[in-house]
Amino acid sequence: MRRALPFLAAALVLTACAESTPGTPSAGSAPTTTASGSSQPSGSAKPSTSATPKKRPKTINIKDVDPCTLLTDAQRAKLGLGGTPTKQTDDEGYQECTVSREDHKYLTGMTVYPDRGVEYYSGGAKTPEPIEIAGFPALKMASSMPLGDSCAVVVDVSDGQVVSSDVMAFGALKGDAVCEPTLKTVTEVVATLVAK
């Protein structure tokens, strides 16, 4: 998975200073996701163009969006993300924002890719699952790594632009269970973008 390494590096840096405390994930309704068709592999990091227009409720330009503004204080509280949002640049030069749960069971990251379409994520070794988030086409990708399981969802918000939300769980969640908080987070992120 192409996004795993930058997010894993961020997770290692942030967990080096964090202590684990017991707790439980916050309650909330899980977002609805549905299949939205097949993806097209491209293998290229260049902006995507498509002969067929994508079906989105609206087009959102994320070129100048600060990833740490993608969740409001109220949304972070609802998701149990009590850590301080930390903005950084990933190893590809993209701005990302990471924030941990209060109990440090997992770390959430949000990244805006103003020049990368959803097709970029279709050419990896593992086929992503096509889903929809609030009517926007998206891809869900789960993986297991030595540090813990992770899940990423990239949402197609405009031609050649995606927003990504990742969760890295440190043993507290396994397999598909890691995708539950990812889906809740990305649903809130999309709600913030739609409201802008």
- Dihedral angle of Cα 91, 127, 56, 44, to the nearest 10 degrees: 50
Q: How far apart are CA 59 and CA 117, in angstroms?
A: 13
Q: Which of 147, 144, 133 is nearest to 177 (CA)?
A: 144
pLDDT confidence tier of residue 125, bands split at 50, 70 and 90: low
Please, are residues 115 and 160 in contact by the beta-carbon 8 Å criterion?
yes
Q: What is the pLDDT of residue 105?
A: 87
Q: What is the pLDDT of residue 188?
A: 97
3-state DSSP assignment of residue 43: coil
Q: What is the pLDDT of residue 174?
A: 82
Please, are residues 9 and 15 in contact by the beta-carbon 8 Å criterion?
no
Q: How far apart are CA 96 and CA 154, in angstroms?
A: 13
Q: How far apart are CA 71 and CA 94, in angstroms?
A: 18
Q: Could you name the CATH architecture of 4-10+59-195?
A: 3-Layer(aba) Sandwich (3.40)
3-state DSSP assignment of residue 71: coil
Q: How far apart are CA 44 and CA 135, in angstroms?
A: 25
159: pLDDT strictly greater than 50? yes
- Dihedral angle of Cα 41, 47, 50, 54, to the nearest 10 degrees: 100
Structure-token pair, residue 86: 């930390």
Instruction: Convert the pLDDT of each residue in 68-97 to its tens digit.
Output: 999 999 999 999 999 899 999 999 999 999
Q: How far apart are CA 104 and CA 106, in angstroms?
A: 5
Q: Name, of 44-48, 66-70, 117-121, 142-146, the range with top average pLDDT.
A: 66-70
Domain extent listing, the chain: 4-10+59-195
Structure-token pair, residue 87: 């903005």
pLDDT confidence tier of residue 22, bands split at 50, 70 and 90: very low
